[in-house]
Amino acid sequence: MTVSSTEEPEFYPTPEFRNLLTTAKRLRREVARLGVGVADTISYNRLLKSLDALEESLRVHFKELYALERALMAAASMRLTRKQRLMLRWLVENYRGKEVYTSLIERISEGLGIPKSTVRWNLRGLREAGLIRAGDRENKGIPVRLTERGRMVAEYVSLSTAR
């Protein structure tokens, strides 16, 4: 099941999945090193087949997660307002992660020509959706950051509007 005809080779749905792939690659290197001096070639070949099966299973899992992630991103981006999608794109293209919430409101307002109150309201929606992380009344001074989910939705929104 594939949503897109082109898959991004560096796309990992979760950090855990990236860790699984890294571990499988490390295991393959260790097994290859072990195979140099192994007299029991039957056990060695069995181990290699098991490793091949694990890697293939991870690839299939990756493709399914990728398709699911793309479908979720499409659904999530449909729930965002036009201004929220615009702000997400702006954040990806123009923001370097150094400003606090109130300063960022001003920058986005100037950059997009949108009133500050509208920017504030839409950023709050992005924060509540878990697409950005920022300080609040109890935790002031924390720079605004796109979450991993926010980055994926922003990327999807940018791709879908570019077509």
**Are 42 and 111 part of one and the same domain?**
no
**Are 35 and 89 part of one and the same domain?**
no
Of 34, 57, 78, the one marking the end of a domain is: 78
**Are 89 and 74 part of one and the same domain?**
no
Residue 78: its pLDDT value, please?
64
CATH code for position 113: 1.10.10.10
Structural domain including 57 reads: 15-78
The pLDDT tens digits along the chain (163 residues) read: 333 334 444 555 567 777 787 888 888 787 777 766 666 777 778 888 888 888 888 888 887 777 777 767 666 666 888 899 899 989 988 888 888 999 999 999 999 999 999 999 999 989 888 889 988 788 888 899 988 778 878 887 776 665 5
Task: Give me the DSSP letters along the chain.
Answer: --S-SS--TT--SSHHHHHHHHHHHHHHHHHHHHHTT-S-HHHHHHHHHHHHHHHHHHHHHHHHHHHHHHHHHHHHHHHS-HHHHHHHHHHHHH--S--BHHHHHHHHHHHHT--HHHHHHHHHHHHHTTSEE---SSSTTPBPEE-HHHHHHHHHHHHHHH-
**Are 37 and 94 part of one and the same domain?**
no
Count of domains observed in the chain: 2
